[in-house]
Structure formats: structure tokens, C-alpha cells
Amino acid sequence: MKRKIFTTVILAGCFAVCLAVAAAGLAGKWKGSLKDPDGNDHPLHLVINVDGEKLTGTAQAEGDPLNINDGKITGDSFSCNVKDPDGNVIPIDGKYIAAGDSISLNFTEPDMKHHVTFVRDDK
């Protein structure tokens, strides 16, 4: 019985450490691009800060960077939002893929859903 409890505690501890490492790996600079309906690429940049389960930072397309608001991390998934210059709140949900060192991100503008994959920006 003691062996089962010990094994369970060790596995739970390893899982918690893995989640913490995954969340910490999310911090940094990221780049991606979004193709518009006309086929033009628009560069996107993220700067992500992680403090426990809280995510902050900035998102930038053309123009000034937008603050990331209400960021929450749960395991390798996260959610947040940004407010565009017109005051519209754009919800974002994403997943950090540690093995590929990338972020898979979904967001919805008023009439369109978008999916973007970001990679580390080493600049």
C-alpha cells in the first residue's frame, strides 16, 4: 500500500514539474504570418511573459503592439485576448508544442476565424 502511495506521489510531482517547464518554455519572442484572402502575407509577432499560470506580453501585426490581457495558462494550453485599436476584444486560444518549439494559435476577428503557427524569433 505504501508503495502505491509513494509511486502516485512521485508521478504527480513529475507531472507538475513537466507542466511548469512547458509553461516556462512559452516565454519569449515568437513570429508567424497570416495570409489574407488575397494571398498576401502579414507578419505577426508575439512577446510572451509567464508568471506561474499568468500570461502577459504583447501581440503585433502592422502598427503598434497590443497588450495581451487576461492571459491564463493551463498545462500546454493558454487563453488571452487583445483589444484592437477600434476597441474590439479579440479572444485568443493556443497550445504550446514543446517538441516542435512552436505555438498553435486560434483567434476570431468579427467575421473570420484564423489559425496561425508561431516559431521562436531568435532576433
> What does the alpha-carbon distance between residue 23 and residue 41 come to, in Å, rounded to a whole number?
29
Cell 503592439 belongs to residue: 65
C-alpha cell at 8: 502516485
Low-confidence ranges of the chain (pLDDT < 50): 1-23
Residue 38 corresponds to which amino acid? D
Cell 486560434 belongs to residue: 106
pLDDT at 81: 96
pLDDT 10s digits, 77-111: 999 999 988 899 999 999 998 877 899 999 887 78
Fold of 2-120: Lipocalin (2.40.128)
pLDDT at 21: 35
From 30, 28, 23, 20, select the one nearest 105 (Cα to Cα). Answer: 30
In this structure, the number of other CB atoms found within 10 A of the CB of residue 107 comes to: 19
pLDDT at 108: 86
pLDDT at 123: 63
pLDDT at 118: 95
* Burial (Cβ within 10 Å: 0-12, 13-18, ≥19) of residue 68: buried
> What does the alpha-carbon distance between residue 26 and residue 41 come to, in Å, rounded to a whole number?
24
pLDDT at 83: 93
> What does the alpha-carbon distance between residue 107 and residue 117 come to, in Å, rounded to a whole number?
12
